[in-house]
Amino acid sequence: MSLASRISALASRVGLEVKTKIDATHPGVARAWVCFGYVGTQVVVRASHNVASVTRTAAGRYRVTFATAMPDSNYCWTALARSSTNSGTQRIAIVRSSTDQKTAQYVDISCATTSASFDDSSEINLTVYR
């Protein structure tokens, strides 16, 4: 058996083993994600997984509703926001305010300027792990 054949056989065995260990319920796999932004006067969802809707609740404030609820509210989320202009005006995804909610059905996220005032962004990316 040649070296190339052995490497190919090993890669196949590793792939089969990993397939049995990692599935959609693995904690290292994103349970939900969405790429959206506020463009013009509406929320535009560009791509998503396990997200039923994104609703703008106020300037820079959004509620992301999951298509299939999380098992509980003990999940981790991370988000990034793109600057809405090329003038150096930064946008950041920030931690929730005390009025925002995080439930098994949805999460409220906020986008702000570097001076911490809520503001919209043309692109926000959210990922949820559980």
pTM of this prediction?
A: 0.79
Strands 76-81, 124-129: pairing is antiparallel
Does 61 fall in a domain?
yes
Does 3 fall in a domain?
no
Does 65 fall in a domain?
yes
* pLDDT tens digits, 42-96: 999 999 999 999 999 999 999 999 999 999 999 999 998 887 666 667 788 776 6
CA torsion sign for 114, 116, 119, 125 is: positive
Does 88 fall in a domain?
yes
Number of structural domains in the chain: 1
Question: Of 75, 68, 66, 62, which Cα lies nearest the Cα of 36?
Answer: 62
Length of the chain equals: 130
- Average pLDDT taken over every residue of the chain: 87
Domain that holds residue 117: 26-129
Question: Which residues, 6 or more positions from 125, have their beta carbon under 8 angstroms from its beta carbon?
Answer: 33, 34, 35, 79, 80, 81
